[in-house]
Structure formats: C-alpha cells, structure tokens
C-alpha cells in the first residue's frame, strides 16, 4: 500500500489512493450488512424526525389540556396523552431533538478535546504523555455514569450540565484511541519522510495523522453517541438532566412512573424511542467497524 | 442429530425458566396478625415531636408519646390524657391532676416533676430548636410575648401552669402532639441523641429507624391502659411514590396506605380485599410567595399570581375533584372562616394587567419550588408545579421548577430562600389561630411563616383574638384578618383536600384523625 | 506471578491517589460558596465560617488534601451532614445491599449469557442463534431504567407475582448480621426469609443483568466461533468425541479469556447501573444512598460513596487482570 515516493508532489496522489479507495470499499462492505443498514435507517428516521417533525407537530409539546388527560392511543392522539393532556407523539418528536443534539454535541466535544489531548500525548511523548495518560486512567477508574452524576451534582442539574458531564466522561476514550493511533502512525515511513523534508509539526498532524485516525474515531464516535443518549436519558430519569417542561425522553419516563398501571403508554413510548435510537447507533457503529476497520473486530 | 440436541437444550432452558417463574407466582405468606405495616409518603424529620412542625413526625410520635390532654377520636374536642382532670378559674391559672402509675418506656416514673422538666426544656430553647413552641406560646423564657409565666409541681401528681395573659386556645394547644411529655432521663442525654431514640409513655415504644426507609415501633408492655395496644408491632414505611405505595398495598407488602391518589379511589372501592378510608378534612394547600424577594415584594405581582393560576384544573387533574378550591388560608370547617371573601378568579388577562402595573409587562424569571413528597394537602407537588409553571408561562413568567429533599426543602423555605414555594398545612388543634397566626404572623417568621409576610394591623388582630374569650368576638377578629390576607395576597391558596387512605379489608379500629396523626392503639386485624 | 502482582499494585498507587484527588476537588469545583449553598442564603457569617472549617475550605487546598488523604487511609470517610453520623459507619449496609444485587445480577448474566453464546455458536445460523443475537443486540441498547419499569409493570403490577420495591418483607425484616441478606438468612436458618429475599432480588436483578448478559452472550459467541474453527476442535470432532463435550469442555476452555475480560469489565459497569436500578426498585443500596445525598446536598456522603465505588471498580479490574494472567499461563502449560 505505501508505495511512497520521496517526491513532494507525489504526496497528493498517495493520499487519494489511501483514502478514496478504502472509503468506497467500506461503503460496499457496510451495505452488505443488513443490521448496519437497518441501524442507519433508524438513525436517518430519527434525524428526519428531529429536523422536520417539529414543523409538523407544532402544537401540544408543552401545551396542557386537562380535559384530555390520559387519553389512550387513538386516531386523534396516536401515542396517547400524558397526565397533563399533552400529546405524547409530539413530545417524543420534540424530544428527539434534545436526545440527538445531546448525543452528537457531547460526542463532538469529547472528540475535539480527546483528540487534542491524545495527539499531544502521542506526538510529544515523554512527560506530557505520562501526565495525560494518567489523567485518562484515573477518569476511566470511575464507572462512567457515576462520574457523570458526580459532575452534575457539582454543577447542578440541567440539560446543559448533563451535556457537559457526558462530554467530559467520554474524553479519555477518544484521547486513548487517538494517542494509540498517533503512536502507530508516528513511526510510519511517510511521516518520517515528511519530517525529513522539514514539514512542520502542525502540518504533519493535520495532513497525515488526523486523516489516518478518522476511521476508528468514526466507529468509536457512532457507538459513543449511543451511550451518550443513554446516559443523558439516565440523568434525565434521575432528575439530574432535563427539567420540566422539556420533553426529554428520560424525564418523560420518570414522569410516567406513577401511572404504570393506569396509563402504561406514557411509559412504553418514550422508552421505546430511547431504545430504538440507541439500537440504531449501536447497529451502525458495529457495521462501520466491520466495514472501515476489520482489524478492530473483537 | 445436532438439530435434535438443540431442541432438547432449548426445552430444558424453557423448563427451568418456567418453573422458576411459576415458583415466584406463589403468594407471600407472613405473620400478619399482629404487625401493621403503614406505608406513607415520606420519612419523619425527627422523632422528637417538639423539634418539628411536620406531619410525618407526628404520625409516628403520637404513638410513642402522650400529651396532658387528648383530642377526641375524630375531632379536636378536649379529652383527658395524661392529666385526668383540669380546671381554671380565671383563664390564667390552670391546674392539671395527673394520672398515677404511668411509666415511661425506660422505666422512669411519670409525675409532676417530669411534666415540669419538659416545659422547662422547651421554655429554655430557641425558635430554631423548638419552632412550634415559639409559634404557640409566643416565644421563650424572657421574651415579652411568652405566654407561659410558670409551670410548677404541687406534690407528685399536680401541675400548675400560670399564664401571663389569657390564651383562648390554650387547652387545645396543650393537647397538640408536639407538646408530648417525654422521659426526662432520655432527653437529658442530649437533644440530638434523643430525637433518634425517643422515649415516652405511649402505647408503643421505639425499636429502629432506618432513614428514608422505615421506622419500627413495638407494643409497650407497661402501658397504663390495660388491653392496649392491640398490635404487637408497627412499621412505618416510606414509599414516596403514591402509586408504588398502592401497589405495595395490593401486593400485601403493606396493610395501610396513606396518601392515595384520588384517581385510584374507584379502583380501591372495586377491590374486594381493600377498603377506602376518608380522613376528615382540615387542611390547606398553597403556593407561598416570599414577600422579601423581589418581585414578590409588590402586592400587584402577588395578586397577579392569584389571578394567573387555574385552581380548578389543578384540582380536577391532581386531586381528581377530591378537594375544594381554597380562597382563604384555612378550611371552612374552622370557626372564624370568612365566606364573604370574593376569590381571585382565574383570569390571565387581568394577571397580565396587574403585572404591567407593577412594572413587569414582560414577566420575569423565578424559581418555583415543588414539594418532593406527596402530602395530604398536595398529592403530587411536582405535577401541580408543572401546571402552575404552564399557567405562569401564559402571562410571561418563566418559572424554573426546583426541588430538594423534604427536610432540606422545609429548612431552606423557612429561611426565605424560595421565590415561590408549594406547601400546605394540616391543622393541629382545629383552631383558627393554628392556621392564621401560625402560618402568617410576623411572630412565626423563621418557623411556619415561610413567606416572611408582616402586617402590623393583622398582628394586632391575632394577639387580640388570642386573649379574647368571647367566641363571637374572636370570629369577627379572624374574619377581618382574612380580609387583610386576601388583599395583601402573600399566598395563592389552592385547595382543601379530603385525604384518602386505603387499607386491607381485615383492618379494624382505625379512625383517621383530622390532624393527620392517628393513634393506632385500637387497631387490629380481624 | 508475585512480582507481577506487586508491579500491578504499585502501578495502582498513582491512579488511586488521583481518584482521591478528583473526589476531594469535587466540593471545591462547586460554583459559588459551598458553605453558602449548604447552609442557605441567610446563614450567619459565623455559621458559614464554621461550615467552611468543617469542610476544610478555610485552609490551603494542599494542606487540606493531605489531611483528607490521611483521614481516608485511617478509614475516616467524613461525617454525613444529614444524620451527623460517620459515613464509614453508615455506608456498609448500603454497600452490602448493592453487592448482593450486583452479584445476583452478574451470576444471572454469566449463566444465561455464556450458555446462550455457546449454543448460538454451536448452532450457528439456526433460529436460536438469530433470536438470541437479536435479543442480545436489543439488550445492549436497553435503557436499564425502562427495562426496570417494564418489569415492574408486567410482573409486579399486572400479575402481582413479584414484590415491586425493597429487599425484604417489611413486616418480617431480616436481622442483619453481615447485611448480605442471603448469607444472614442462611446463618439464622430462616429459609422462609431467604425465599423472600430471593423474590425481592429477581426483578431488580434481571433488570441489572440484562446489559451484561447481552454483552457476555455476544462475546462468548464470537470467541467460541473462532475456537471452533480451529484444527484442534476439528480433530476432536473427527475422533468422534461427543459434540457436547467438545463444545463445553475443549472449545469453551480455549475461548474463555476474552469472555472473562468482558465479565470483569461488566462487573464494574454493574456498579454504575445499580444506581438506576436502585432508584426504580427502592433498593436500599449505595446508589440510592448517593441519590438521596444529592438531593440533600450531603457532599461528604456523595464524595465518599463515589470514592468507595471507584475503589471497588479498580479492584475488580485488578483481579480480572490477575486472573487473566493466571488462566493464560495455565493454558500455555496445558
């Protein structure tokens, strides 16, 4: 694969060859897996729901209409109404925005911070590496949901703080991943070559190391979105995340606890939404892993 | 061959699973006859009744301790208690003849000295320690407002209480469960120690307290009333969630459940194994507005809040109609209730105008405190808060719902930290003084007056009413006070509810008391 | 082996110190003044000064950190602000309740997960394999709190088969000796109580077991598949050995290492999941202890409980690593 010519202008060619080919092949592999495609469809469905759903279901998110409390699922209210007479379907649709944005934003934040720390640790090595790696070790020494709860208990409850907490707990995962990638790439011929011809550190990082770490980050990122959504819902369920009247799925579940018997639909649908989205990201993450990086297969 | 094997493996797995589940289906058997498990919404804050003003404590302590006088079985009439006789000539000197041969659970004798020691203990405390004593008797030793002049023993079984001025509800106050007589040997070991190891003369003695879980008490063998109590053991179990508590009752894990969701009443009446019990109503649930915190220092804002909140929807949704809309801070059953008050009607438009007049045309942001536990006067604080939040959003007020653990909630609210807080009150002696003065007078700021509301004219009316012995004149004074309260609007009174309980069918002898504290010595299973 | 253990223990020291440091810094990271938050806005300056002294906020952080560390090394976990009792005294009953629940859950997860994985690999692409793996996929994505609610709804409310909350029959409480009720009831020969304790364990136990069960099943299957393709197994089969023994003895033995690693990891994760399960089922474990403490702003309890859980988590991971080494060497000499 790495038929690297020491010519500068050969560089672009090599890069194209290194990326375009594998990506297309990965897509072909990905398509072959039914589970992965199913996952992707679920995700696209929820993304569309989050983007366009609120335009259709404008009404009834937080609007209370007492006469229609506890309406079971019907033609008028597809998924029924809750204890305030709010339409559960529109709350779930609006809730998809919350869950997906928390999932994506927190993972993007952890990828950025994690990559930064991982690159520094891997590229510069020595004591920088030791310190950063130790910090990662320590953070990973806590069960993740517990660390999130601790952070929220310090910052105070709320959706933003839940997002921050989830972003923080995921940092070491990406940090470690990038660090190991950097370490393995660092010694590659073409990096040594680039260094030899006097390329700047920053340029090497951005034009070589980062693109080469993309695949595992995408895989890990997709799976991390799944856990982030799950953790946000857990915090909402514990009353440490989203606050009333936000239609967050975990919070909706917590509110349904009192009506398990009289109105089980208030519990079933929010939970199902969480499960499906998480399942979607898990399936797609697995599929991506098999497609992009067969070596990572466990 | 391998196909066949797979089937057998699957079959075995299925068998194992189904037997396991079938085994689980068997009903639970237990020694039920003499142990009552009482499920309730929250844990007690303390087991020393004099230290708190909160109902979950009294619910337990009323079975551990006794008072000099008792209330009637289901009303607030005065009956003999640890004192078998009492009299007064001038309303200033009261003589109590004590019951003889009564012992505390720790073996200490109950006598006049013990009673004096208890009063001495309270009179030498402060509002932080004995908030209810402060409320009912106007302060402590040395304070100008302190009603009690002296408490002395005359021989072993006579106690004389002298007052500085007459106090109309004095005997009712003495009968309140917080002025229970405790064993001096026990409380002399220290207050913190005592509130976790209470010792009284009651039908039951303390066994164990698992915080936030359960309190266990057992039959006191040396109880002075022969043949009582009928039960051997009572476990007070906290199950915060109303429906979880009902499920526990249906499943037979508890025998008596406090705080039944009004919406479940029908289901209980339709269940042959259960009985629905209605507690005589004597309460008020309200939204308090802390008048020291802007913008609630403005009367118009407070009135706007009164117009903004849709009490009818609240009652229909979360009390299921098992409540009446409140317009005054006390229920209509109490003498002195002012029925001429014109309630603030639900009118968001008017509320907006009032807000604009106060200088908040675009509303404001505030914290709305919601009770973390269900109370008799408020079956589901968080839900009601969400309705209020939505009502307030309609007039441009952005409310953030905040909640704390119950003890913390009360502490913080009493320190005036909430903008607006949900709370309520169950009368402890059936007197208007126990609602109006206790909850809204300046003397009770820091204890039960959570709104920090102050009004000199109203204060004078209250003090006058306390010393006034003529019942008709008292009623007039309280009616006037309610007019002031209505106009100044430190509260949004929400509801007077009929608290519901449920029990297994074989539970007999349970008489719910309007104060919410039930003596369980006559309860048995039949 | 011994020197390996020693090395691992030494490596652990900075991690443990770091954990203590993070937990120690928690209270200092609270925006604003923690004493003010705890005591309220109208607290007197004296009360705030007293609270600051109690929380150690009146001293430079490094002094206070070493004091804190020294306290912890002597088993002093601070004092609960709610009950004014030492956390070290309060924590064990809660921790025991969680340990019992977690053990019960991991045993269910291991028994069902491993067997499902083995059978799936054995009959690859059969209907059992498909159903098991779809269930495992769903299981991995399951919000544990939703599963708990579903379980309560179906088994406790609709059918009234199982108790909904708590860990013992309230009217007949277990006399606590070790606070591990299964052991306590056995010690006292109270088999009726043991039965009740088990019944209370079932719903929360299964809810907590689901995710690790799914992960273990998937790992077992893929690990078994790899082994079963090897020549060694083919030979064994060709020799006409019974398939059951080939699968359960020979193949499984060689597939066990990754499975063990996953089990170890999941045991740690269970401690996190316990918090959610305990809130639903009112299980009086350490998760609920933390949850109550958060509502009370009882920081010493939050700090110490988190520290204790993290410590156990680290220890489990260490033990798994050591076992890994042990089994690995045995296989080499086998």
Where do the H-state alpha helices sit in A125-158? 126-140, 144-155
How far CA A278 is from CA of A38, A95, A96, A237, B304, in Å, comes to 12, 14, 12, 16, 45
Out of A64, A84, A258, whose CB is closest to B241?
A258
Q: Please, how many CA atoms are within 13 Å of residue B31, restricted to the half-sphere of its CB?
A: 10
**Contact residues for C239 (Cβ-Cβ < 8 A; gap 6+):** none
CB contact C179 to B (< 8 Å): no
**How many residues does the structure list for chain A?**
298
Q: Chain C interface, mutation test: which of B191, B213, B238, B414, most C Cβ atoms within 10 Å?
A: B213
Element (H, E) at B213: none
Out of C165, C244, C295, whose CB is closest to B239?
C165
Residue C328's pLDDT is 65
CA B363 to chain C, closest CA, distance in angstroms equals: 25
Q: Chain C interface, mutation test: which of B237, B242, B250, B251, most C Cβ atoms within 10 Å?
A: B251
pLDDT in tens, A148-169: 988 998 888 899 999 999 999 9
Whether residue B212 and residue C292 make contact (CB cut-off 8 A), yes or no, is: yes
**How many Cβ atoms from other residues are within 10 Å of residue B43's Cβ?**
24
Residue B39 pairs with which residues in a beta bridge?
Answer: B237, B257
Residue A21's pLDDT is 65
CA-wise closest residue to B204 among B516, B497, B523, B525: B523
CB contact A259 to B (< 8 Å): yes
pLDDT band per the 50, 70, 90 thresholds, residue C229: confident
pLDDT band per the 50, 70, 90 thresholds, residue A12: very low
- Measured CB to CB, residues of chain A less than 8 Å from chain C are 35, 134-135, 137-139, 141-146, 149-150, 153-156, 226, 230, 233-234, 237-238, 240, 250, 253, 256-257, 260-261, 264, 267-268, 270-271, 274-275, 278-279, 282-283, 298
3-state helix, strand, coil in chain A (%, to 5): 75, 0, 25
| B332, two tokens | 């209509």
Determine the average pLDDT of the residues in A177-194: 79
CA A275 to chain C, closest CA, distance in angstroms equals: 5
Whether residue C310 and residue A283 make contact (CB cut-off 8 A), yes or no, is: no
CB contact A63 to B (< 8 Å): yes
Whether residue A257 and residue B317 make contact (CB cut-off 8 A), yes or no, is: no
Phi, psi of C321 (to 5 degrees): -60, -45
Q: Please, how many CA atoms are within 13 Å of residue C56, restricted to the half-sphere of its CB?
A: 20
Whether residue C302 and residue A153 make contact (CB cut-off 8 A), yes or no, is: yes
| C182, two tokens | 């299964």
Phi, psi of C81 (to 5 degrees): -80, -20
The CA distance from C229 to C255, in Å, is: 12
CA-wise closest residue to B48 among B246, B229, B188: B188
Q: Are strands B158-163 and B83-88 parallel, antiparallel or unpaired?
A: unpaired
Q: B103-127 in b/e burial notation, b at 16+ Cβ within 10 A?
A: ebbeebebbbebbbbbbebbbebeb
Most confident of A100-104, A181-185, C260-264: A100-104
The CA distance from C172 to C174, in Å, is: 7
CB contact B324 to A (< 8 Å): no
Whether residue C143 and residue A250 make contact (CB cut-off 8 A), yes or no, is: yes
Residue B354's pLDDT is 95
The CA distance from B5 to C180, in Å, is: 40
CA B270 to chain A, closest CA, distance in angstroms equals: 15
The CA distance from C78 to C306, in Å, is: 13
CB contact B242 to A (< 8 Å): yes
**Residue A144 scores a pLDDT above 50:** yes
The CA distance from B87 to B75, in Å, is: 21
The CA distance from C236 to C223, in Å, is: 18
**Are the C-beta atoms of A193 and A10 separated by less than 8 Å?**
no
Q: Which positions in chain C touch A142 (Cβ < 8 Å)?
A: 19, 22, 306, 309-310, 313
CA C186 to chain A, closest CA, distance in angstroms equals: 32
CA A86 to chain B, closest CA, distance in angstroms equals: 11
Q: Are strands B35-40 and B233-238 parallel, antiparallel or unpaired?
A: parallel
The CA distance from B377 to B41, in Å, is: 12
CB contact B347 to A (< 8 Å): no
Which residue in chain A is spatially nearest to C275 when comparing CA positions?
A146
Q: What's the sign of the alpha-carbon dihedral A183, A188, A190, A196?
A: positive
Q: What's the sign of the alpha-carbon dihedral C315, C316, C317, C319?
A: positive
Residue B275's pLDDT is 94
CB contact B389 to A (< 8 Å): yes
Residue C41's pLDDT is 60
**Residue A34 scores a pLDDT above 50:** yes
Where do the H-state alpha helices sit in B108-156? 112-123, 131-137
**Residue A264 scores a pLDDT above 80:** yes
CA-wise closest residue to B60 among B198, B163, B193: B198
| C286, two tokens | 């350490």
**How many Cβ atoms from other residues are within 10 Å of residue C2's Cβ?**
6
Q: At what angle do helices A249-256 and A210-237 cross, to 10 degrees?
A: 20
**Are the C-beta atoms of C329 and A169 separated by less than 8 Å?**
no
Q: Which positions in chain B touch A243 (Cβ < 8 Å)?
A: 400-401
Residue B120's pLDDT is 92
Which residue in chain C is spatially nearest to A271 when comparing CA positions?
C146
Q: Which positions in chain A touch C157 (Cβ < 8 Å)?
A: 260-261
Residue B6's pLDDT is 59
Out of B212, B251, B416, whose CB is closest to C42?
B416
Q: Tell me which of A101-115, A182-196, C64-78, C109-123 is least confident.
A: A182-196
Which chains contact C through at least 3 pairs of Cβ atoms less than 8 Å apart? A, B
Q: Output the 3-class SS for C211-222.
A: HHHHHHHHHHHH
Determine the average pLDDT of the residues in C23-39: 76
Q: Chain B interface, mutation test: which of A244, A247, A251, most B Cβ atoms within 10 Å?
A: A244
* Residue numbers in chain B where pLDDT is lower than 50: 1, 18-19, 21-31
The CA distance from B409 to A140, in Å, is: 35
CB contact B247 to A (< 8 Å): yes
CA C199 to chain B, closest CA, distance in angstroms equals: 7
Which chains contact B through at least 3 pairs of Cβ atoms less than 8 Å apart? A, C
Residue C332's pLDDT is 44
Q: Chain A interface, mutation test: which of C33, C139, C145, most A Cβ atoms within 10 Å?
A: C145
Q: Is B128 helix (H, G, I), strand (E, B) or coil?
A: coil
CB contact B261 to A (< 8 Å): yes
Q: Please, how many CA atoms are within 13 Å of residue C232, restricted to the half-sphere of its CB?
A: 13
The CA distance from B179 to B94, in Å, is: 16
**Are the C-beta atoms of C282 and B244 separated by less than 8 Å?**
yes
Which residue in chain B is spatially nearest to A85 when comparing CA positions?
B317
pTM of the model: 0.82
**Residue A8 scores a pLDDT above 60:** no
**Contact residues for B232 (Cβ-Cβ < 8 A; gap 6+):** B34, B35, B218, B219
DSSP states of A19-32: HHHHHHHHHHHHHH
Residue B216's pLDDT is 93
């Amino acid at each position: 694969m790495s038929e690297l010519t020491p010519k500068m202008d050969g560089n672009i060619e090599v890069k194209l060859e290194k990326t375009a080919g594998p990506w297309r092949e990965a897509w072909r592999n990905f398509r072959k897996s039914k589970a992965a495609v199913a996952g992707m469809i679920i995700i696209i469905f929820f993304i569309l729901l989050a983007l366009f759903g609120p335009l259709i279901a404008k009404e009834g998110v937080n609007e209370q209409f007492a006469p229609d409390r506890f309406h079971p699922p019907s033609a008028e209210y597809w998924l029924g109404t809750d204890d305030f007479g709010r339409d559960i379907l529109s709350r779930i649709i609006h809730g998809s925005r919350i869950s997906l944005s928390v999932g994506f934003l927190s993972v993007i934040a952890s990828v950025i911070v994690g990559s930064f720390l991982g690159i520094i640790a891997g590229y510069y090595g020595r004591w920088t590496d030791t310190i950063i790696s130790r910090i990662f070790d320590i953070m990973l020494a806590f069960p993740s949901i517990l660390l999130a709860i601790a952070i929220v208990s310090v910052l105070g409850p709320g959706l933003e703080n839940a997002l921050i907490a989830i972003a923080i707990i995921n940092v070491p995962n990406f940090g470690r991943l990038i660090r190991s990638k950097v370490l393995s790439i660092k010694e590659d011929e073409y990096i040594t070559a680039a260094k030899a011809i006097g390329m700047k550190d920053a340029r090497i990082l951005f034009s070589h190391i980062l693109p080469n770490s993309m695949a595992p980050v995408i895989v890990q990122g997709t799976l991390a979105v799944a856990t982030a959504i799950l953790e946000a819902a857990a915090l909402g369920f514990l009353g440490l995340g989203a606050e009333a009247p936000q239609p967050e799925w975990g919070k909706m579940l917590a509110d349904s606890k009192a009506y398990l018997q009289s109105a089980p639909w208030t519990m079933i649908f929010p939970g199902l939404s969480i499960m499906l989205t998480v399942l979607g990201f898990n399936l797609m993450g697995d599929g991506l892993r098999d497609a992009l990086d067969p070596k990572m297969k466990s | 061959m391998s196909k066949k094997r797979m089937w057998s493996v699957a079959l075995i797995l299925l068998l194992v699973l189904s037997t396991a589940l079938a085994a689980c289906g068997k009903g639970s058997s237990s020694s039920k006859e003499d142990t009552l498990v009482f499920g309730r919404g929250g844990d007690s804050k303390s087991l020393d009744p004099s230290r708190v003003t909160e109902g979950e404590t009294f619910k337990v302590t009323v079975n551990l301790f006794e008072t000099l006088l008792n209330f009637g079985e289901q009303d607030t009439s005065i009956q003999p208690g640890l004192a078998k006789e009492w009299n007064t000539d001038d309303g200033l000197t009261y003589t109590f003849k004590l019951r003889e041969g009564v012992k505390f659970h720790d073996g200490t004798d109950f006598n006049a000295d013990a009673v004096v020691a208890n009063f001495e203990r309270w009179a030498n405390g402060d509002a932080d320690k004995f908030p209810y004593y402060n409320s009912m008797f106007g302060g402590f030793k040395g304070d100008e407002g302190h009603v009690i002049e002296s408490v002395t023993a005359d021989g072993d079984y006579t106690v004389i209480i002298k007052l500085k001025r007459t106090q109309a509800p004095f005997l009712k106050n003495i009968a309140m469960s917080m002025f229970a007589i405790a064993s001096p040997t026990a409380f002399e070991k220290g207050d913190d120690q005592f509130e976790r190891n209470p010792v009284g003369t009651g039908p039951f003695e303390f066994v164990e307290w698992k915080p936030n879980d359960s309190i266990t008490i057992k039959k006191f063998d040396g109880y002075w009333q022969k043949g009582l109590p009928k039960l051997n053991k009572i476990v007070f179990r906290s199950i915060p969630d109303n429906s979880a508590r009902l499920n526990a009752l249906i499943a037979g894990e508890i025998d008596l459940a406090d705080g039944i969701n009004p919406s479940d009443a029908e289901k209980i009446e339709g269940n042959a194994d259960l009985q629905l019990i209605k507690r005589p109503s004597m309460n008020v649930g309200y939204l308090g507005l802390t008048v020291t915190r802007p913008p609630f220092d403005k009367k118009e804002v407070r009135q706007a809040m009164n117009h903004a909140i849709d009490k009818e929807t609240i009652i229909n949704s979360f009390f299921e109609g098992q409540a009446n809309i409140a317009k005054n801070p006390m229920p209509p059953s109490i003498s002195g209730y002012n029925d001429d008050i014109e309630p603030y009607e639900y009118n968001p438009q008017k509320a907006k105008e009032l807000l604009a007049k106060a200088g908040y045309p675009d509303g404001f942001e505030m914290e709305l405190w919601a009770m973390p536990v269900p109370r008799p006067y408020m079956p589901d604080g968080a839900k009601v808060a969400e309705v209020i939040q939505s009502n307030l959003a309609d007039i441009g007020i952005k409310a953030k719902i905040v909640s704390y653990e119950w003890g913390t909630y009360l502490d913080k609210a009493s320190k005036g930290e909430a903008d607006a807080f949900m709370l309520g009150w169950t009368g402890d002696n059936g007197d208007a003084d126990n609602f109006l003065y206790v909850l809204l007078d300046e003397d009770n700021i820091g204890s039960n007056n959570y709104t920090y509301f102050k009004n000199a004219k109203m204060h004078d009316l209250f003090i006058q009413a306390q010393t006034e012995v003529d019942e008709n004149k008292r009623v007039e004074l309280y009616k006037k006070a309610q007019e002031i309260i209505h106009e100044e609007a430190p509260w949004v009174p929400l509801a007077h509810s009929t608290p519901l309980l449920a029990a297994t069918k074989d539970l007999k002898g349970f008489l719910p008391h309007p104060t919410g504290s039930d003596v369980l010595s006559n309860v048995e299973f039949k | 082996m011994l020197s390996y253990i020693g090395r691992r223990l030494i490596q652990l020291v900075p991690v443990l110190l770091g954990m203590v440091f993070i937990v120690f810094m928690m209270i200092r990271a609270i925006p604003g003044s923690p004493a003010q938050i705890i005591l309220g806005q109208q607290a007197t300056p004296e009360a705030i000064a007293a609270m600051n002294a109690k929380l150690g906020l009146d001293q430079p952080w490094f002094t206070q950190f070493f004091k804190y560390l020294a306290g912890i090394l002597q088993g002093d976990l601070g004092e609960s602000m709610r009950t004014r009792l030492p956390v070290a005294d309060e924590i064990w009953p809660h921790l025991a309740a969680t340990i019992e629940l977690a053990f019960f859950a991991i045993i269910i997860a291991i028994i069902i997960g491993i067997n499902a994985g083995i059978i799936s690999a054995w009959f690859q692409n059969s209907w059992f394999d498909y159903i098991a793996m779809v269930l495992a996929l769903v299981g991995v994505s399951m919000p544990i709190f939703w599963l708990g609610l579903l379980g309560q709804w179906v088994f406790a409310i609709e059918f009234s088969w199982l108790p909904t909350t708590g860990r013992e029959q309230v009217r007949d409480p277990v006399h606590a000796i070790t606070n591990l009720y299964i052991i306590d009831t056995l010690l006292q020969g109270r088999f009726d109580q043991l039965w009740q304790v088990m019944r209370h364990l079932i719903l929360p136990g299964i809810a907590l077991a689901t995710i690790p069960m799914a992960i273990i099943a998937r790992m077992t299957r893929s690990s078994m598949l790899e082994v079963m393709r090897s020549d060694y197994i083919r030979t064994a089969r060709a020799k006409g050995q019974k398939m059951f023994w080939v699968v359960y003895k020979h193949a499984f033995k060689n597939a066990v290492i990754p499975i063990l690693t996953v089990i170890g990891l999941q045991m740690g994760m269970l401690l996190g999941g316990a918090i959610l399960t305990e809130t639903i089922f009112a299980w009086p474990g350490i998760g609920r202890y933390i949850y109550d403490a958060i509502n009370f702003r009882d920081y010493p309890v939050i700090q110490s409980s988190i520290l204790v859980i993290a410590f156990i988590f680290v220890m489990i991971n260490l033990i798994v690593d050591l076992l890994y080494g042990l089994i690995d060497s045995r296989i080499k000499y086998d």
